Amino acid sequence: MACPKCGSTNYKYAGQSHKPIKVLCHFPIIPQLKHMFRAHAMSNLMVWHVENKNSDGLVCHVVNSKVWAHIDARWLNFASEFHNLRLYRTCC
């Protein structure tokens, strides 16, 4: 199989074996989040969005956006617990 953009192959060919050029390592998210909340310094950063909201109307972080306010208004139980995390994409 080849890349549709550049035409390079996805595998290294050595005789009969095909080894992938790149391998994706997957780390399950739940154990990673548990580990982050266990570390004191990291747990303070995990609840940063509660303590550092801007009230001047400028959106300098996603916590100050209209979407965040919409989620808070729509799901009150979720918004009331500050340990709940919102995962979002920063780019396309």
What is the DSSP code string of 16-81?
TEEEES-------HHHHHHHHHHSHHHHHHHTHHHH----SS--SSGGGSHHHHHHHHH-HHHHH-
Q: Where are the domains of the chain?
A: 29-80
Q: What is the pTM of this model?
A: 0.48
Q: Which residues of 50-63 are buried (b: 16+ CB within 10 A; e: fewer)?
A: eeeeeeeeeeeeeb
Mean pLDDT of 2-21: 76
- Average model confidence (pLDDT) for the chain? 78
Mean pLDDT of 58-78: 83
